[in-house]
Amino acid sequence: MSLARKLLLGLVIACIPMQVFAWNWRTKISLSLKDQPLSVACEWMEKEYGIHFSYSRDVVTMTRRVTLRVKDVPLRRVLDQLFTENGIQYKRIGDQLVLTVKHAASRTISGFVEDAVTGEKLIGATVYAPGLHTGTTSNQYGFYSLTTAKDTSSLSVSYIGYKPVSIPLKDGESRRVNIKLSPANTLQEVEVTDNLPKLQEQTQMSKVNLAVSQTKTMPRMLGEADVLRTIQAMPGVSGGMEGSSGIHVRGGSPDQNLILLDGTPVYNSTHAFGIFSVFNPDMVKNVELYKGAFPARYGGRLSSVVDISMKDGDMHEYHGEVSLGLLASKVMVEGPIAKGKTSFIVTGRRTYADLLAQQVAQQQLNLGKEGEFWLYFFDANAKINHIFSQKDRLYFSAYGGRDHLSVKRDHEFDTMNGEAKRYHEQMRFRLGWGNQAYSLRWNHIFSPRLFSNTTLNYSQFNFNTDYQYKYMALDTPRVQESDNMNGRYFSKVQNAGGKIDFDYRPNPNHAVRFGLQATYNIFQPGILRFNNISDNQQLTDTSYNDETSGGLELAVYFEDDWRIGDSVHLNLGVHASSFFVPGRSYLSVQPRLGFRYLLPRRWALKLSNTVMTQYLHLLTNSATYMPTDLWVAATDKVPPMHANQVAAGLAKTSQSGMYEVSVEGYYKTMFNVIEYNELADNFQSATRSWEDNVIVGRGWSYGGEFFLQKKKGDFRGWIGYTLAWSQRSFPNVNQGRVFPYKYDRRHDVELVLTQRLGKRWELSAQWQYASGAPLSLPVGSYEETGESSPHMPPPQEPGGEVDIVGNRNMLRMQDVHRLDLGATHVKERKKVKYTLNISLYNVYNQQNPFFYYYKRNNETRARELTMLSILPILPSVSYSIRF
């Protein structure tokens, strides 16, 4: 070999490593990335430093976003920061860096998140592994389970209203870690809800989490804070009639709401014909409203789920609270039965207008000295929870509430219509309705990844009215007259059930829930009993429609919240149920699908499609939900209701968690919705022929909702806007044409603002505007008759007219709007907290339409279309002391 050749060969050999191995582990790297996918980092290093990367896109997730700024840092350290913390391992093979998934051993951290002071379990607390950017939230019982890399060194736990904590994890073992969070020192009551992960981190859509503290600081009507009234201020929820606390969700009727109190359905959620909700806010820990995208674990109603959790009671100290309001007073006591093991909480509420009106009523109704007059509603809650072991907890919850009117007359009379006649009259009339709900729940932790809850529950709603009447003529023996009669009408619906729910977290990519439910319903739709003895002769001793029927509903469900990739999540679920009544059965398979895709700038695109079935019908011919309405089971002629809802939306929570914004559109179709055509007469029964008075039709609702909320800071609040259409169609109504549903409102704007002033004051304002509701008015009138001959004596009051009822809901009431203001002052002294709330309802005294009717002008005898408005400006004050 010539010298020249040797030199050339040496140069080539010397150059090869310089070219092929142009980098080593100590190569200084400068890199600046802000929220970029890992793949961008690789492309940058390949371009700038000639470092080639090899990986399979199917195996290694390179879409994970990173932020990294380094200057002249050794390559190995840069790679560690980029890959190791993201579960990717790298290996040099030749001139390439081969990337593979790091199969690091994992471990599961599980336990409960609770209030450090009271031991109250916290629902929806975020438990997060910062290094891996993965986390979970505590479930309805405060339980969490996070399977993470074995070398995870710490967990970050946060919850609004509490100080966030970082929990160090010393070894690499699976373990149970119960996390205690201390309340932040704020003016507000501890906020025990509303801290779900950011909207873009939830596949769930069409859901509202309600802060109970928000309910308490909002303006109040007659001094009563109301959970359902706060829900009404959310987009997609309409309140129905002015002043009512009923809820109509996305065009659904009130009977289509599944309202759960500690997992037990409550049939009638309102007191006083719908004006106040039955849920005492002092007892409520957490409220979740699902307007659509129903998780598979819920079933049995078409339009919404309101899942209310009651407080557990303080495990460590005794507390009490007494509240005085314009309308009602409340009392609450909580504390440990065995410190750290068993706690209880009891609340009670009663209105007292009757106590003030007792004497007036006695005189006005001529009740006599022994007479009585009672008119009130009350409710009471009790809950006990006991920790048996690290793995087992037991909860017993009870609710009872009732609206009650009773009048008792016991009086001797000397005259009758101005003429001498002595007689003794005893009369007692009672009218009342109420709910009872009980649940016994057992939490058991099978393993750090598998949590179960077993529930036994019972619920009932009953309406009862009865009278006793005794009459005795005292001018005996000249006049011998006596009556002794009594009668009773009642209706009742009951259900008793059991269910077992499992919560399984195999790894951070899957959150699985599955379970079984069985519910037995008992219906007594209107039973009448009478007994009448007149002049010692038995005239009546009988009962009508004394029938009880039952129906068994069985259901199974499964759902998996599946993280397919960093940007793609899927919620797959199915709820299958069957309903058995004597002689027939129904089966329904209801798919529940949710999808989330993370768009640029951290916006989440969400889609959902859910099917719901309802086996129970409510027979009502009321304009609102009345306690006399009757629940019945579906039949072949009046089949179960079904609904299908699709929804799409965009949602985002800002980086700081300060703002939350969501936009949703939905389309819902409802099948087998009913109209009950029975006359609105006195205390009716659903006899066997009730089906003949029902027409079956369809419903549609669609629209869009916008929600912007500021969640942190001294100034908070939200604005919600709803654009909605809600329609029905029945064969015999409006000639079969589609017509607007009675609470169809095109536009609805809700603005809620709160402002803290210093440490003691918080001001709130709520303004709402809604387009006019549909209205039906007579479209003509004509002369009435009741006589076969004009020679009969005329009635004492002249006869009226017949109004021609035209097409349903073809007119519109005028638009409604209203401003309410509230101010809350809190003073704390020696562990005693004094709270004063002053509210002003309908500040500018807007006369919103409640009802339209033709009123006769007594002077001209002409009938004039008249708009009735209620609830003018109403100031109220309430005061509470908590110790």
Contact 246, 624 (CB under 8 A): yes
Site membership for another protein, residue 795 (CB under 8 A): yes
Residue from 487, 591, 639, 704 that binds another protein (CB under 8 A)?
Answer: 487
CB of 534: closest distance to another protein in angstroms? 5
In one-letter notation, the amino acid at residue 618 is L
* Residue 816: HSE in the Cβ half-sphere, 13 Å Cα cutoff: 30
**Encoded tokens for 56:** 């399979």
- Is residue 534 close enough to count as binding another protein by CB under 8 A? yes
Binding status of residue 466 toward another protein by CB under 8 A: yes
Quote the least distance from Cβ 426 to another protein, whole Å. 11
Total residue length of the chain: 883
Q: Which of 32, 56, 153, 781 touches another protein by CB under 8 A? A: 781
DSSP state of 221: B
Which position among 2, 67, 537, 735 is part of the footprint of another protein (CB under 8 A)?
537
CB of 640 to another protein, least distance (A): 24
What is the rounded CA–CA span in Å between residue 236 and residue 720?
A: 9
Among 386, 500, 778, 833, which residue sits at the site for another protein (rule: CB under 8 A)?
A: 778
- DSSP for 85-120, written as a single string: GGTEEEEEETTEEEEEE----EEEEEEEEEETTT--
Please say whether the beta carbons of 701 and 724 come within 8 A: yes
619 lies in the site for another protein, by CB under 8 A = no
How many angstroms separate the CA atoms of 124 and 111, rounded? 13
Nearer to another protein by Cβ, of 337 and 416: the residue is 416
The window from 258-266, 313-321, 371-379, 760-768 that contacts another protein (CB under 8 A) reads 371-379
Q: Which of 421, 602, 746, 747 binds another protein (CB under 8 A)?
A: 421
- Closest to another protein by CB, 50 vs 772, is 772
According to the binding rule CB under 8 A, does residue 374 interact with another protein? Answer: no
Tokens describing residue 557: 């469900």
Segment interacting with another protein, rule: CB under 8 A, options 46-54, 155-163, 228-236, 479-487: 479-487
Q: Examine residue 197 and tell whether it contacts another protein (CB under 8 A).
A: no
- What are the tokens at 19? 């070219």
Is 878 a binder of another protein (CB under 8 A)? no
CA distance 462 to 436: 9
Which of 117, 869, 877, 879 is in the footprint of another protein by CB under 8 A?
869
Q: Does 626 bind another protein (CB under 8 A)?
A: yes
Nearer to another protein, 294 or 841 (CB): 841
* Residue of the chain from 370, 392, 412, 481 that contacts another protein (CB under 8 A): 481
Considering the complex, state which of residue 94 and residue 799 has its C-beta at the smaller distance from another protein. Answer: 799
CB of 220 to another protein, least distance (A): 13
Of 156 and 468, which has the nearer Cβ to another protein? 468
Asked if 675 contacts 730 with a C-beta cutoff of 8 angstroms, the reply is yes
Half-sphere exposure of 55 (CA within 13 A, CB side): 25
Determine the size of the site formed for another protein (CB under 8 A).
112
CA separation (Å) from 640 to 464, 581, 672?
27, 12, 7
Could you give the CA distance from residue 25 to residue 47 in angstroms, rounded to a whole number?
17
Q: How far is the CB of 767 from another protein (least distance, A)?
A: 21
Interaction of residue 536 with another protein, rule CB under 8 A: no
Residues 579-598 that bind another protein (CB under 8 A): none
Interface segment toward another protein; rule CB under 8 A; list 39-47, 69-77, 132-140, 471-479:
471-479
* Closest to another protein by CB, 610 or 809: 809
Q: Which of 60, 427, 618, 633: binder of another protein (CB under 8 A)? A: 427
| 736 forms part of the interface with another protein (CB under 8 A) | no
C-alpha to C-alpha distance for 823 and 753, rounded to whole angstroms: 12
Q: How far is CA 697 from CA 300, 626, 670, 688, in A?
A: 19, 22, 9, 21
Among residues 112, 376, 438, 514, the one that binds another protein under rule CB under 8 A: 376
Cα 780 to Cα 767: distance, rounded to the nearest angstrom: 38
Instruction: Say whether residue 779 binds another protein (CB under 8 A).
Output: yes
Interacting residue with another protein among 658, 872, 875, 881 (CB under 8 A)? 872
d(CA 449, CA 453): 14
Do the Cβ atoms of 825 and 807 come closer than 8 Å? no
User: β-pairing, 179-181 with 106-115?
Assistant: parallel
Q: 31 or 810, CB closer to another protein?
A: 810
Given strand 134-137, what is the order of strands in its sheet? 134-137, 126-129, 154-158, 165-168
Q: Is 790 in the site for another protein (CB under 8 A)?
A: yes
Task: State which of positions 684-703 bind another protein (CB under 8 A).
Answer: 684
* Residue with tokens 């503290």, as numbered in its chain: 213
Distance of alpha carbon 459 from alpha carbon 390, whole angstroms: 30
Q: Does 530 bind another protein (CB under 8 A)?
A: yes
- Pick one of 446, 806, 828, 832: the residue that binds another protein (CB under 8 A): 806
In sequence order, what DSSP letters do the residues of 568-615 get, joined into one string? EEEEEEEEEEEEEETTEEEEEEEEEEEEEEEPGGG-EEEEEEEEEEE-
681 scored as a contact of another protein (CB under 8 A): yes
The reply on whether position 805 binds another protein by CB under 8 A is yes
One of 589, 623, 658, 881 touching another protein (CB under 8 A) = 623
Q: How far is CA 693 from the centre of its chain?
A: 32
With CB under 8 A as the contact rule, the residue among 13, 782, 844, 859 that binds another protein is: 782
| Piece in contact with another protein (CB under 8 A), picked from 23-31, 586-594, 662-670, 796-804 | 796-804
Looking at residues 388 to 407 of the shown chain, list those that interact with another protein (rule: CB under 8 A). Answer: 407
- Closest to another protein by CB, 519 vs 842, is 842
Residue 49 is a binding residue for another protein (CB under 8 A):
no
Comparing CB distances to another protein, the nearer of 530 and 558 is 530
Q: Is 683 in the site for another protein (CB under 8 A)?
A: yes
Q: Tokens 């908590």 sit at which residue?
A: 882
Residue type (1 letter), 355: L
- As a whole number of angstroms, the longest Cα–Cα distance in the chain is 157
- Judged by CB under 8 A, the chain residues 264 through 283 that form the site for another protein are 272-273, 275-276
**Cα Rg, the chain, nearest whole Å:** 33
> 3-state class of 169 per DSSP?
coil
123 contributes a contact to another protein by CB under 8 A = no
Residues 6+ apart with CB under 8 A from 470: 424, 425, 426, 427, 482, 483, 484, 485
Question: Which of 440, 733 has the CB closer to another protein?
Answer: 733
